[in-house]
Every structure is written in C-alpha cells, then in structure tokens.
Chain A
Amino acid sequence: DAGVTQSPTHLIKTRGQHVTLRCSPISGHKSVSWYQQVLGQGPQFIFQYYEKEERGRGNFPDRFSARQFPNYSSELNVNALLLGDSALYLCASSLVRATNEKLFFGSGTQLSVL
C-alpha cells in the first residue's frame, strides 16, 4: 500500500510569491495534518483537516491556508512568501483525529525561499 505522498519534493521560490503544496493520505485515512520543520528544529503544527473541515490551527499567520478535498487529499497554500518560510513541510495522515492516534508522515516538500 502506498504511504503518504507529497509533491513536489523540492521547490524554490522568491520572496512575495505564492506556493501550493500537495498531499495524498494513505488510502482510508480521513485526517490530514500539516507541519513545518525548520532546519534543526522539531516539526511545528500548522493545520489539521478532517472530513474536509479545518479542525485545528497552529500559531501561523493568515498567509497560510489549506483545504481538504472529497478524496481526502489536501493542499497547503502560502501567500507572500518570506525568507523565514524556508523549511521542510510535512504532511501526515491518520484514520481518525483522536488525540492518541499515531500519525503517518510523508517525506515532505523542501521549500527554499530566496
């Protein structure tokens, strides 16, 4: 079975541009979460979506938005990119959204903002 897939794997953008990152969860998983991992740090929670609705949001500016589609895949959008947005963006899926549910992560999208 395929794991969590993310695209693209690498992306280079310039300041002020917009970016869209995509994630396909494991088949049957209805919850998708997004995390930002800056080099040398642990992942930071951005969003959680379950059944196409936003169920949780981390401490990120409104430039960050996301959505989940009927097939449970998800997109993360970042507007007006800043240098500080350079990071590895990880998508994770789980069957449900229970607090004790283990997450399955993709390999991430490495975003570089120049």
Chain B
Amino acid sequence: AQKVTQAQTEISVVEKEDVTLDCVYETRDTTYYLFWYKQPPSGELVFLIRRNSFDEQNEISGRYSWNFQKSTSSFNFTITASQVVDSAVYFCALSEASKVTGGGNKLTFGTGTQLKVEL
C-alpha cells in the first residue's frame, strides 16, 4: 500500500540557515508523482514542487531545491537561507496513476513537518 513518512515532526532553525525536510515513500507503482506542499497558519495548502518517477534530476528553484532518489525512495526538500515567512507545516505527498480510475490526482500525504524559523 502507498505510504508517505515524514519522520521529522518539528524543526527549529535560525533565519538564514539552510534546512532539509525528509520524506520517504512507499509504492508498488512504477508511475507516480511526488509533491511538496506548504501549510501556513491560515490553513490552505500551497503547492511548492512536483517530480515524476521517471525524472530523478534534482533541481533548484529559487531558494528551494529537492533531492529525489528512487533507490532509497526518498524525496527530500531543502530551503536555502531560510526566512521567518517560511515558518509553516510542510507536507510531502504521493500521487499514483493506478489509484483512480481513468486518471486522477488522489494524494497520499505524510504527517507533516512543522518548520519554525526564528530571528
């Protein structure tokens, strides 16, 4: 069965530090997609990044970067030079092509990592 594990429940850093959020996933599918979402105190989840299972190239987008390794089923997310506005709960999520008839985007989320960035 599909599963997403975020072992870090809470991380505290000082502003301008780099921080890496860990994510480990389980799936039997060969085609799947991985996402990171951010949930600020206002409640709505905000899409950050997405990666498909066929593309292990790691990228950087502004202060965000990610490290996708199929061999270890990990999809870690790094924020460079953290800022107070980055304080939020971060969720890793998995979407599997086989789980919804005719396609679909049912997401399986991890339990989230609370990131606190202090001055």
Residues of A whose CB lies within 8 Å of any CB of B are 3-4, 31, 33, 35, 40-45, 48, 50, 55-56, 58, 88, 90, 92, 94, 97-108, 110
Contacts and interface: CB of A to CB of B under 8 A. Distances in A.
Given A56-B106, A58-B106, A94-B105, A48 B45 contact: no
Contact of A44 (B42, B95, B96, B109): B109
A41 B37 CA distance: 14
B100 A48 contact: yes
A43 B101 contact: no
Contacts of B35: 102
B47 to A, nearest CB: 4
Interface string B87-119: 000010101110111111111111110000000
B45 A55 contact: no
Contacts of B103: 97-99
Q: Which 9 A-B pairs have the closest CB atoms?
A: A42-B109, A105-B45, A56-B100, A107-B43, A102-B47, A99-B97, A107-B44, A100-B33, A105-B44
B81 interface: no
A71 to B, nearest CB: 21
Contact of A42 (B96, B102, B110): B110
B105 A101 contact: yes
A106 B44 contact: yes
B105 to A, nearest CB: 5
Contacts of A106: 44
B50 interface: yes
Given A40-B111, A42-B91, A56-B100, A99 B43 contact: no
Contact of B104 (A35, A56, A105, A107): A56
